[in-house]
Chains A and B, each alone.
Chain A
Amino acid sequence: EAGVTQSPTHLIKTRGQQATLRCSPISGHTSVYWYQQALGLGLQFLLWYDEGEERNRGNFPPRFSGRQFPNYSSELNVNALELEDSALYLCASSWTGSNGYTFGSGTRLTVV
């Protein structure tokens, strides 16, 4: 069974640009979660999608947005990039209502 896959693995952008990160959940999982992990810091909850709908978002500005597609894959968009957006962005998936989360390997975003 394939795990949670994220692309790209690394992304370098300049300040002010937009970044798009992608996540494919484990087959059968309908919920996708996005987390930001800045260097040396913990996991900050960004967004939760389930069955194509945004169910909850963390304490991040509106320039962090995303969506979930009919095949349950998801996209995270970060607009007007700032230097402090540099971080590892992790995606996790689970079945709806399940507590078991499986993480992807992440996308390392560097803003220069």
Chain B
Amino acid sequence: GENVEQHPSTLSVQEGDSAVIKCTYSDSASNYFPWYKQELGKRPQLIIDIRSNVGEKKDQRIAVTLNKTAKHFSLHITETQPEDSAVYFCAAEDKLSFGAGTTVTVRA
């Protein structure tokens, strides 16, 4: 089955700085890579996703890059704001295997 590793487990950044979270996966057949944001006490919500036929996707301050050859993908958050503080999970299809999560804290 798919094995997804996510790093770092915790990330503290100054407001306005960038945050980068990296994930690696094992199954080369995976072709869909979503990122979920889970605020404290709330459900995970999809914030951005990328498919294997695309190398990069951007949505305002959030971007995701994918390197299929190396089997890794990353989430980039620019100009971080306090409301970006949450746990972020990466995942890889098939069967939606999740990474262990990254707790992001944005310091005001």
Residues on the B chain within 8 Å of A90, using CB = 43-44
Residues on the A chain within 8 Å of B47, using CB = none
Q: Are A104 and B43 in contact (CB under 8 A)?
A: yes
Whether B46 sits at the interface, judged by CB under 8 Å, is: yes
Contact pattern, A 8-49, Cβ under 8 Å of B = 1, otherwise 0: 000000000000000000000000010100000111110010
Q: Are A99 and B34 in contact (CB under 8 A)?
A: yes
Residues on the B chain within 8 Å of A99, using CB = 32, 34, 49, 51, 93
In the complex, A104→B51 CA distance in Å?
Answer: 24
Name the residue on A nearest B2 (C-beta): A45
Residues on the A chain within 8 Å of B99, using CB = 42
In the complex, A100→B34 CA distance in Å?
Answer: 8
Whether A72 sits at the interface, judged by CB under 8 Å, is: no
Contact pattern, A 43-61, Cβ under 8 Å of B = 1, otherwise 0: 1110010000000100000
Q: In the complex, what's the smallest C-beta–C-beta distance from A21 to chain B, in angstroms?
A: 15
| Contact A105/B43 with A42-B89, A45-B96, A99-B93 known, Cβ cut-off 8 Å | yes
Whether B11 sits at the interface, judged by CB under 8 Å, is: no
| Contact A43/B42 with A56-B95, A99-B32, A101-B34 known, Cβ cut-off 8 Å | no
Q: Are A33 and B96 in contact (CB under 8 A)?
A: yes
In the complex, A43→B102 CA distance in Å?
Answer: 12
| Contact A42/B100 with A48-B95, A99-B34, A99-B49 known, Cβ cut-off 8 Å | yes
Closest 8 CB pairs of A and B: A99-B32, A42-B100, A43-B98, A103-B43, A42-B101, A105-B43, A103-B44, A56-B95
Residues of B within 8 A of A (CB): 32, 34, 36, 42-46, 49, 51, 89, 93, 95-101
18 residue pairs A–B, Cβ–Cβ below 8 Å: A41-B101, A42-B98, A42-B99, A42-B100, A43-B98, A43-B101, A45-B95, A45-B96, A99-B49, A99-B93, A100-B49, A101-B34, A101-B46, A102-B46, A103-B36, A103-B45, A105-B42, A106-B43
